Homo-oligomer: A and B are copies of this chain.
Amino acid sequence: MYDLLIHNAWVVTVNAACDVIPDGMIGIHGDVIAHIGPKRPDVPPPAARETIDAGKGIVLPGLVNAHTHLPMTVFRGMADDLPLQAWLEDHIFPAEAAHITPHTVHWGTLLGCAEMLLAGITTCCDGYFFEDAVARAAAMTGIRAILGHGVIDFPAPGVPDPAENIRTATTFVRQWKNRSPLITPSIFCHSPYTCSDKTLARAKAAAVDEGVLFQIHVAETREETTRYDDRTPNGSLTARLARLELLDADTLLVHGVWLSPADIERIAQNACGIAHCPESNMKLATGIAPVTAFMQAGIPVGIGTDGCASNNNQDLLREMDITAKLHKVAGGDPTAMPAPQVMAMATRDGARAIGLGDQIGSIEKGKQADLVILDSTHPAMCPIYNPVSQAVYAGSGDVVRDTIVAGRVRVRNRTLVDGNIDEIMRQVRAIGRAIGKP
């Protein structure tokens, strides 16, 4: 007898063979997938404590949002259409200095997690400040999250003295290690141009000591690359990062828009993952990451929405659609970045990139029961010829009907099961009004 049974579904497994089961069912014991297979003709579905009829909808592995800044949800739409430096220096940094507190972090995180769960995102990989408040809020929502405390060589929210940045991050990691089955702590260095070599090396060493993921923005803008070259005149960005021993399988590089072929080769050799954030890169006009080259080199590449100040939503299904279309038009090849590849990025490959590939990212026996059911009654889901391309090209977060994390239903019939979304939005609106006042 299963705890939860899902049936009457197109099951998109995203297993190694990319199997799709047209009339499939999934049995769950506790938080684990115990069975997956086709419905047996003329046999009623097996007994379960709870049974969900997917209504011939598409079931996907829970989506993995490989790069977020959850508290920045409170800045959604605060500053758009601006030059990059003005956006960052005149709007984002001052707003962070003035308004990022444990209170705003708490409510911004709750709204971000609610938005993501409603959009079928079961796992996110975050980096920000006051990450303890992020972790407390995220844990309340039941989302799976890797949460990295920020490290930067400037005064930051909650870390007024940069000399304390690595100690603060390490304290956070120790506080959250083995505390909640769904929360995994991490260390997040902002970037190679906002951290000294010493900070980078010490932060990575701390992550290695603690056995956690190390995250860092790299090569987001062309200008950054110039600066790196100044600092490492005889080498590339990644030569510098390799010398500092930053590159290994427990490092996630974010953006990577301006990585060179030599960089890509070095990253592949060192088994790092990459988080690709196409909407953020497009909106800030930083460029188009060479994702096809990443994949050809064998790098696991996930997709991230980035924070709400640069997107401005947290909808990975839309991000998947844009990923496919962007790389098709950029390469002049409509066969580039096909739907199954994008589906893998948003699930299995993203899970690998953030170090959870053995637990999540596909619908396979023994993996965590993180699942999404798309709503077959949404007009965009009609007709269905191929469920993978249907999800990628016609889907959106709003087509999600149910979201299940670790065997627990967190969104049912488009509604959050836990948490008071009205109260969360009321609080974030109040924060927005306070921020919006000059």
Measuring CB to CB, which residues of chain A are less than 8 angstroms from any residue of chain B?
74, 76-78, 80-84, 87, 111, 114-115, 118, 279, 281-288, 308, 311-313, 315, 318, 321-322, 324-326, 328-329, 331-336, 338-339, 377, 379-380, 382-386, 389-390, 393-394, 396-399, 421-422, 425, 428-429, 431-433, 435-436
B332 and A76 within 8 A (CB): no
How many copies, total? 2
A428 and B328 within 8 A (CB): no
Q: List 9 A-B contacts (CB under 8 A).
A: A77-B389, A77-B390, A83-B334, A279-B325, A282-B325, A282-B328, A283-B334, A308-B394, A396-B396
19 extra interface residue pairs, beta carbon distance < 8 Å, beyond A287-B332, A398-B398: A74-B383, A76-B390, A77-B389, A77-B394, A80-B386, A80-B393, A81-B324, A311-B393, A315-B396, A318-B321, A318-B396, A322-B325, A377-B422, A377-B425, A379-B425, A383-B429, A384-B432, A385-B432, A398-B399
- What is the chain B residue whose CB lies nearest that of A79? B385
- B-side contacts of A283, CB under 8 Å: 324-325, 328-329, 334, 393
Q: Name which of A318, A382, A421 has the most chain B CB atoms within 10 A of its CB.
A: A382
Q: Name which of A328, A380, A436 has the most chain B CB atoms within 10 A of its CB.
A: A380
B394 and A76 within 8 A (CB): yes
- B-side contacts of A114, CB under 8 Å: 379
A129 to chain B, nearest CB (A): 20
- B-side contacts of A336, CB under 8 Å: 285
- What is the chain B residue whose CB lies nearest that of A336? B285
- Give the distance in Å from the alpha carbon of A197 to the alpha carbon of B308 in the complex: 51
- What is the chain B residue whose CB lies nearest that of A398? B398
- B-side contacts of A76, CB under 8 Å: 380, 382-383, 385, 390, 394
With A326-B282, A394-B312 given, is the CB distance from A338 to B382 under 8 Å? no
- Give the distance in Å from the alpha carbon of A76 to the alpha carbon of B393 in the complex: 9
